[in-house]
Chain A
C-alpha cells in the first residue's frame, strides 16, 4: 500500500436527488480511500446509497458536493468528455441487469469499447475473442444476448468490461440476478481478474457469501459509511 496517494479518494461526497420540498439526500458525506489492487465489497440495506456511490465512482453520475480524486485527478473538475475518456481508459462496469446491446452478438458487444478506443479491426477481433475465451465463452461469439443464459450474459458483460484492460472494475450487484452456483462462477472470475491482473474491484452485493471474495468490506447505512473492515481470511 502506498502511503502517498490512494487510487481513489472520496471526501465528503454528497448526493441530493430532486429539489425543494422533494429533495432527498441519498449520500450524506462519504469519505473513502481505495488503494490500487484492492477487492472491495460494498454492503448495506436497500436504499443506503450503494448504487449512488458506485455511479459517482464510475463517472456515470455527478455528486452534489465533495471531492473525488482518481489517481490524484479531481474528477469533479473534469468536463463531460474528459469523464467519458476516464471511463473509456480506466473504468469497466458490470451491472446487475447486464446492459448488453440487444440483437448484437457477444463478439460485437465485447468489441464495442475497443471500437471507441480506435483499435484496428484485426487487433480488436483478436482481443475480443481472447476476452470471451477468458470468461469461458469460446464458441459463443456469435450468439446474441437473447440466446444466452443470465450467467453467460454476465460473462459477456465482464469480458466487455475487461477487454480494454481498465484499472478499476465497478460491479453493482453482478450476481443479483443469478443463482448461487452461477454466482460463484462469476465471483471466481472477478477474483481472478483481481489477483492475476491486479485490477482493483469495487463490488456492491447483498450476499455475505459473495462478500467473502473481497479483501475489504464497507457497510453503508443511510447514505454514510458505517463500517469499513478488512476480511481476515482472504480467498
Chain B
C-alpha cells in the first residue's frame, strides 16, 4: 500500500508541477533566509567575542552610567583627578588611561581625512595594546601643558601621507596645527568591525581644551598587574569611585567597572539581539512562505476535493487518500527544506567570507527551520485533504 501510494503521490506532484514548484519555492526561500540570517548573526557574535578575548583578561574599563554605549550620557563624567586617585590608592593598577573621544578632520597639504581622535596619556598605548611603528609617545611636559602633538594610526597615515613617514610633519586639525610625533603599528579591525587604525591619539589636555572644550574624561582604561585578582581590583575601584562621586549608601552606582568578559558580553549582547532580530525578520519570510503555500493549497482545494471524490468513488480507502496527500506534502516540504538548507549553507559561507566573520554551522537552526517548513507543508497540504476525505464521495465529487 505504501509503495502504491508513493507512486500516486509522485504522480500528483508531477501532474501539478507549477503548484508543486511554488509550494517548494515558498519553503526554500523561508528556510534559506532563516538559516542564513541566524548563521551570519552567530558568526558575527563569535568574531566579536574572539576579538575581545584577544584583548587580554587583565583590562578593566570604567564607564559612567549603568550601561555601556548609548544611554550613559546622563551620568557624570570622570575627572582628570580620578586618574591620580586610582594610581595612588589601587596598588594593583598597572596602567591608568583616561580617554576622551572627539572626531575631527585632519588635513595635510592637499589631503584631508575625517577620523576619530582620542585624548589620553602614555598609559593608553600600553593598556590598549598599541605598539609604535616609528617616532615616540608623549613626554611628561607635553601631557601637562596640553601641547598640540599627535600619534597617527596607520589608516590616517595612509590617507594623508601615502607611504611617506609622517613623523615630524605638521597636520592641521580644526584651527590648530599639530606635530606628528609617532606612528602606531596597525591593529586591524576592532571587535565591532570598525577600523582601529583610523585614529589619532593626542594628550588628554590637548583634546579637552582644543576639541572638547571641557575638563571631562569619558572613560578610564585600567590594566591590572599580572597575578592580581581582577575581582578584588574591581571591588576597590567601585568603593573608590563611590566615595569620589559622593554616592550615598542606599544609592546605586552611577558608573560601571567592566572586565573584558563583561565587555565581550555587552558587545556580543548587541550582536545577539541583532541576530534575533534578523532571525525574526527571516522567520516572517518563512511565515509569508507558509501563507503563500496556504494560498496555493486553498486555491486548489476545490480541484483537489473533486480529485479526492474521484479516488473515493473508484474504491480508494480514506486512509489511502490521506497517506497520498501526506506523502505529497512531506516530499515537497522536505525537498524545499533540503534545497533551502543547501542554499543557506552556500550563501552563509560566501557572505561570512565576504564579511570577514567565521562560518559556524548551527545544527539547531537548520533542524528547526526544516521542521517548521515540514510542518507548514503538512498542515496546509494534509489538513484540507483530511476534511475532503471524510466527506461522502458524492459530496466530494460535487464540491464547488
Name B306's closest neighbour in chain A (CB-CB). A99
Contact between chains at B315 and A85 (CB < 8 Å): yes
Contact between chains at A115 and B16 (CB < 8 Å): no
Which of A102-110, A194-202, A222-230 is near enough to bind chain B? Answer: A102-110
**Interface residue from A61, A85, A108, A164 paired with B392 (Cβ < 8 Å):** A61
* A208 in the interface (beta carbon within 8 A): no
The majority secondary structure among interface residues of chain B is helix
* B11 in the interface (beta carbon within 8 A): yes
B-side contacts of A151, CB under 8 Å: none
Contact between chains at A80 and B314 (CB < 8 Å): no
Contact between chains at B317 and A84 (CB < 8 Å): yes
In Å, the complex CA distance between A100 and B311 comes to: 10
Q: Which of A59-98 contact B (CB under 8 A)?
A: 59-62, 80-81, 84-85, 87-89, 91, 93, 95
* A137 in the interface (beta carbon within 8 A): no
In Å, the complex CA distance between A164 and B313 comes to: 13
Contact between chains at B313 and A99 (CB < 8 Å): yes
A111 to chain B, nearest CB (A): 10
* A113 in the interface (beta carbon within 8 A): yes
Contact between chains at B397 and A60 (CB < 8 Å): yes
Size class of the contact patch on chain A: 20 to 34
In Å, the complex CA distance between A219 and B115 comes to: 99
In Å, the complex CA distance between A104 and B306 comes to: 14
* A112 in the interface (beta carbon within 8 A): yes
**Interface residue from A87, A108, A118 paired with B313 (Cβ < 8 Å):** A87
* A160 in the interface (beta carbon within 8 A): yes
A-side contacts of B310, CB under 8 Å: 99-101
Q: Which of B297-315 contact A (CB under 8 A)?
A: 303, 306-307, 309-315
B-side contacts of A80, CB under 8 Å: 318
**Interface residue from B11, B15, B16, B314 paired with A87 (Cβ < 8 Å):** B314
* Chain B contacts to A: CB under 8 angstroms: 1, 4, 7-8, 11, 15-16, 303, 306-307, 309-318, 320, 392-395, 397
* Chain A contacts to B: CB under 8 angstroms: 55, 58-62, 80-81, 84-85, 87-89, 91, 93, 95, 99-104, 108, 112-113, 115-118, 160, 164
A–B Cβ pairs within 8 angstroms, 23 of them: A55-B394, A59-B393, A60-B394, A81-B317, A84-B315, A84-B318, A87-B312, A88-B315, A89-B315, A93-B313, A99-B306, A99-B310, A99-B397, A101-B307, A101-B310, A102-B15, A103-B15, A104-B11, A112-B311, A116-B311, A118-B1, A118-B4, A160-B314
